[in-house]
Structure 1
């Protein structure tokens, strides 16, 4: 585990299925099944989020990409995950209102989710 001072990331990202987005919009906080199971909120850096989408959200309906400024969130815990990469995890509720941008990701011709040019 490393602290926030060990990374220069200014933003982290959360992907939600359409159903999880609807629930988060109603409840004010995200509640994805994997987060409930693991006991923390899974987040990704900009360089990690496209792979996360490919691995875990392919074929999902209404996927939303939420961007959060690290400075606006409770302290993140950086832990080794996929391939030993350090991923940001949040051991607190993730409030949707803290997102500074939200996009709906639509599949491209190849079926992969298309990200906005700037995110």
Structure 2
């Protein structure tokens, strides 16, 4: 089973920890919070976080968000996990810090 990953800026993770949940503007504008499967992380990070030098990869416990999780087809033809509610910080199993590489990529950690 593929891990569900929420890519987030460190400052946004800090805010989420202070309020107890991840809430993004996409929840209001699109109705869900964007997530990726681990194999999608490098492309998603390059596309949406290219201005960042450091990002966090939050591993989401699928069982703790199952009632609000839907896998949907995106415009690029791939299926992505979307969470249709704020994500409780208690649903996060692990946090990885990833630094942008010299080539501009954000690799998924292999540990």
Shared fold per TM-score greater than 0.5: yes
Normalised TM-score (structure 1): 0.80
Residue 21 and residue 36 in structure 1: after superposition, are their counterparts in 2 closer, same or farther (change >3 A)? farther
Higher strand share: 2
Normalised TM-score (structure 2): 0.85
Contact 2:98-2:108 at 8 Å conserved across structures: yes
Cα RMSD for the two superposed structures: 1.8
Q: Determine whether 1:67 maps to 2:59.
A: yes
Equivalenced residues, count:
110
Residue 104 and residue 82 in structure 1: after superposition, are their counterparts in 2 closer, same or farther (change >3 A)? farther
The worse-fitting range, judged by mean Cα deviation, of 18-27 and 29-38 is 29-38
Q: Which runs of 5+ in 2 are unaligned?
A: none
Q: Which runs of 5+ in 1 are unaligned?
A: 1-8
What are the superposed Cα offsets for residues 3-31 of structure 1, whole Å, 9 maximum, x if unpaired?
xxxxxx35211001122112111111112
